Structure 1
Amino acid sequence: MNKQYKKADVVIIGGGVFGCAIAYYYTRNNPGKKIIVLDRNELCNAATSHAAALVTKIRAKKSFIPLSLETYQVVTEMEKILGESMDMKFSGVIHLAASEARLAELKELMEIAAEFNQPAHYISAEEAHQMSPWLKTDEALAIGYMPDEAYCDPYLLGTFFSRCAKMQGAEFIQGLEATNLIMEGNDILGVHTKEGEIIAGTTIVASGAWAPKFAREAGVSLPMAPTRSQYWITEKDAIFPVNSPIVLLPDAQAYARPEGGSLLFGIRERNSLSVSADVIPSDVKDFSFSPDKGVQDLSEVIDRLARFFPKVYDIGMKYYVAGFSGYTPDNNLSMGVAPGVNHLLMATGCVGAGISVSGGVGLAFAELAAGKENPYDFSAFNLQRFGAVDPFSPEWLERCARARSTKVSG
């Protein structure tokens, strides 16, 4: 099949939050240029819509922070363009430290907040419990509160990006699969689809769990693995006020946030699941993340969580949600210019922070696609930082799974 279907300056494989964000910034900053976003299903319908969507700015990994700060800015920008609210929940974040190690990390986090001019202060155990009545605080050595942090509806964020991008001239094609990259020597010329070739000056892979397969075609070993993220939503209860803050519990390797009178919470299970991109079906809904809806995983760590959330033993669980994140052994993003080939960018490896960093990621790749300099320092995300890896090997998948299981941050 060699017939040309379309031609563009940029083609993006994947219509999740990254793909839509890149399209927004590219059309905003390069009027008159043509960008096409392909998704074989529906926009923002895989990992994006399944995210817990904590839009946390202040993190121990400082390289993430400028990207998240951009997300906050662009939400306001898009609300003005569309004339509607995205209803971001500026609930703030409670960080509870109940061990000496976590206490030292919290102190460092508070210093990072000051470095980035973000409000943060310590609160008492009583204040924290008043904000979040479900939270047992008697073991706390210190509790930090960052009032400007937020969470959002991840699908809404993704579709705000796509709607604004469309108004600015981006073309979105749903239900059309990019089957292969078009290669000529070391040059990537676009993508093959069942409708024909889409020829583009730059091709961006933003296909989440399936990204390692496109990278492999180009001879690139993409250092990430599709790794299960899972969370639960409780039954409604008066102890979960709708306006209560996000709570991060590093001593329990857990996080929680309100969800309309219920509590949404996630844990780091003892044995995370990482799988080869080769075994993931084209529609992630057809993948069985957990036959028992995470019951076994939760039961293995529930005592750890119950130290701070004693009601977890008897509160009903209404929903179980699971999806893929692209994890790495160092819990850093894996993204940037694909090495060894020309005109290929990899917007990949979100390590569970994709919603939060989507604004900065969108701007970075829009600039790179336009031949400009990346406005952010991506050195910590370098695609070659692990040396030669086989991203489909059991050993690599295990390394990435272990990274999620040992993660303590939100």
Structure 2
Amino acid sequence: MQFNSEKANVVVIGGGIFGCAIAYYYSRNNPGKKIVVLERNELCNAATSRAAALITKIRAKKYFIPLSLETYRVIPEMEKMLGESLDIKKVGVMHVAASEPRVSDLKELMAIAEVFNQPATYLSNTAAHKKAPWLKTEEALCIGFMPEEAYCDPYLLGTFFARCAKLQGADLRQGVEVTDVLMDNNTAVGVNTTGGKIYADVVIIAAGAWSPIFAKQAGVDLPMAPTRSQYWITERADIFPLNSPIVLLPDAQAYARPEGGSLLFGIREKKSFSVSPKNIPADVSHFSFSGDKGMNDLQEVIDRLARFFPTIYDVGLKYYVAGFSGYTPDNNLSMGAAPGVHNLLLATGCVGAGISVSGGIGLAFAEMAAGNANPYDFSHFDIERFGKIDAFSEAWLNKCAEARSKKLSG
């Protein structure tokens, strides 16, 4: 069989929200240049579409904040281009602290909000309960409210990036599988696909859970592991108003947000679940994330959640959703230029924040792919920060899973 070959300025492996965002910014800022995004299934059909999609701006890791602020900035720009609304739900977020360490954390977070000129105030327990009638606030020592925070439909945001990128000339291809990163010594020169070779000046790996496989082809052990994120959606009830805020419960290691008259909530299970990228099928919908739909994991921690959500024992659970996020031992992103490899960029390791930071990530990699300086500080995301690792070893997978289990924030 005769395969074709072609040339592009940039080729991106993976059509999730990162790949689509990169295509949007690159095609916007570099008219006439050719960027090709390759997705073996459908755009945004894996981790992106399964995300809880909290677009959290203010967080303890301050270097995430500029990335999220860009996401908020770009959404109206894309809405104007498409003549459609993304229907962002700007309901705000309540941070509930029920222990002295968490009160201290919240005070620091409120100070960070002030530095970034984001509105933030303290609420009484009564006012907080009024905003979220399902929330039991008696044990709360301090509650902070940031009214400008939001959530969204993650699939819609990803496809907004994709559609706008197409309008600007980006080439996004579905049903095309990348099999190999093409190397010339220590330089990435393109990719081999089921439809032939595509040579490129820059190759970007944005393949989510499968990114370590492609990175390894270039000689890089990528410091992240596909780790299960899971959440539940309750039956509808009057205690879950449509405009209720997002609620973060660090003392319960849980989060919740409204979902059309129901409540969507997620927890940090006692033992998180990481999998070697080699053992994840090409279509993640064929992967069994939990034989019992996470009920054993929920049962192990339900007592700490019930402190704040007592009706959890009585309300019906209608949906269970699970997917993979790329976690790291320090819960920081793992991304940037591939160490020791020319012309290879790694847009990976979302640590559960992928939807929120997607705008900044798209802009950063579009600029780097064009040969410009990264507009953001990626020093905390350095690929080599853990030293030499084996990205496929059980010890590494367990270390990344443990980091998610210990995570407090949303």
Partner of 2:9: 9
1:176 Cα deviation from its structure 2 partner:
0.6
Q: Aligned partner of 1:173: which letter?
A: R
> Can you list the C-alpha shifts for 1:191-227, whole angstroms capped at 9, x where unaligned?
0012110111100000000000001111101000000
> Can you list the C-alpha shifts for 1:248-287, whole angstroms capped at 9, x where unaligned?
0000000000000000000000010001101000000111
Whole-Å separation in 1 of the counterparts to 2:317 and 2:165: 38
- TM-score (ref. length: structure 1): 0.99
Partner of 2:243: 243
1:7 Cα deviation from its structure 2 partner:
1.5
2:53 corresponds to 1:53 = yes
1:3 Cα deviation from its structure 2 partner:
4.3
Partner of 2:220: 220
List gaps (5 residues or longer) in structure 1.
none
The count of corresponding residues between Structure 1 and Structure 2 is: 410
Partner of 1:197: 197
Secondary structure of the corresponding residue to residue 211 of structure 2: helix
| Residues 67-86 of structure 1 aligned to structure 2 (within 5 Å) | 67-86=67-86
Secondary structure of the corresponding residue to residue 251 of structure 1: coil
Partner of 1:163: 163
Partner of 2:377: 377
Whole-Å separation in 1 of the counterparts to 2:149 and 2:341: 39
Whole-Å separation in 1 of the counterparts to 2:273 and 2:137: 31
Partner of 1:101: 101
User: 1:4, 1:199 within 8 Å by CA — same for their partners in 2?
Assistant: no
Q: Aligned partner of 2:157: which letter?
A: L
> Can you list the C-alpha shifts for 1:18-64, whole angstroms capped at 9, x where unaligned?
00000000001001100000000000000000000000100000010
| Residues 223-302 of structure 1 aligned to structure 2 (within 5 Å) | 223-302=223-302
Secondary structure of the corresponding residue to residue 213 of structure 1: helix
1:244 Cα deviation from its structure 2 partner:
0.5
1:4 Cα deviation from its structure 2 partner:
3.8
Whole-Å separation in 1 of the counterparts to 2:394 and 2:42: 31
Q: Aligned partner of 2:67: which letter?
A: L
Secondary structure of the corresponding residue to residue 226 of structure 2: strand
Partner of 2:347: 347
Whole-Å separation in 2 of the counterparts to 1:194 and 1:93: 45
Identity in percent: 72
Whole-Å separation in 1 of the counterparts to 2:120 and 2:75: 22
> Can you list the C-alpha shifts for 1:111-163, whole angstroms capped at 9, x where unaligned?
00001000001010000000000000000100000000000000000000000
Secondary structure of the corresponding residue to residue 219 of structure 1: coil
Q: Aligned partner of 1:200: which letter?
A: A
- TM-score (ref. length: structure 2): 0.99
Aligned-pair Cα RMSD in Å: 0.8
Whole-Å separation in 1 of the counterparts to 2:2 and 2:361: 33
Secondary structure of the corresponding residue to residue 251 of structure 2: helix
Partner of 1:395: 395
Secondary structure of the corresponding residue to residue 178 of structure 2: coil
Partner of 1:327: 327
Partner of 1:153: 153
1:187 Cα deviation from its structure 2 partner:
1.0
Whole-Å separation in 2 of the counterparts to 1:383 and 1:301: 33
Partner of 2:172: 172
